[in-house]
Amino acid sequence: MAAKRKILIIDDEEYFGKLAKKNLELLGNLEVDTTTDGIEGINLAKEKKPDLILLDIMMPGIDGFEVLKRLKADSETVKIPVIMLSAKEDEESKIKAAQLYDELYLTKPIESEKLKAKIESVFEIRGIK
């Protein structure tokens, strides 16, 4: 059996993080960690080296854009693909995320199967086994 791929969810909505973790782990060969804090998320990314990060934009303290900027500026985390997952649907947010090198931009709410499919497509594009 293949090793589980690791995902880190950084989202200030604790319920969303726990629900997404449960659903993703049920759907596939994934190990999911969650945090509700951007700084802790950056530290977890360095420590756990996830294969992919799901990142919310609207968070207290530092927002998802700042988290993404710091992840992409750090040699330890620069190559980890990041999917922005936010309730914000405006083009400005999508463009800003793209300029900071997000992999995909998805809007909430999203069905677990669709999220899993998007994650799998990023793994495939990036060659993550």
Which residue segments constitute the domains of the chain, with CATH numbers given? 5-124 (3.40.50.2300)
Q: What is the mean pLDDT of residues 88-115?
A: 89
Q: What is the pLDDT of residues 11-25, one digit of tens each?
A: 999 999 999 999 999
Q: DSSP string of 47-68?
A: HH--SEEEE-S--SSS-HHHHH
Q: What is the mean pLDDT of residues 100-109?
A: 89
pLDDT of residue 11: 95
pLDDT of residue 112: 85
Residue type, 58: M
Assess whether the previous peptide bond of 109 is cis (omega < 30° from 0): yes
Q: What is the pLDDT of residues 25-84, one digit of tens each?
A: 988 789 999 999 999 999 999 999 999 999 999 998 899 999 999 999 999 999 999 999
**Above 60 in pLDDT, residue 1?**
no
pLDDT of residue 43: 97
Q: What is the mean pLDDT of residues 79-106?
A: 91
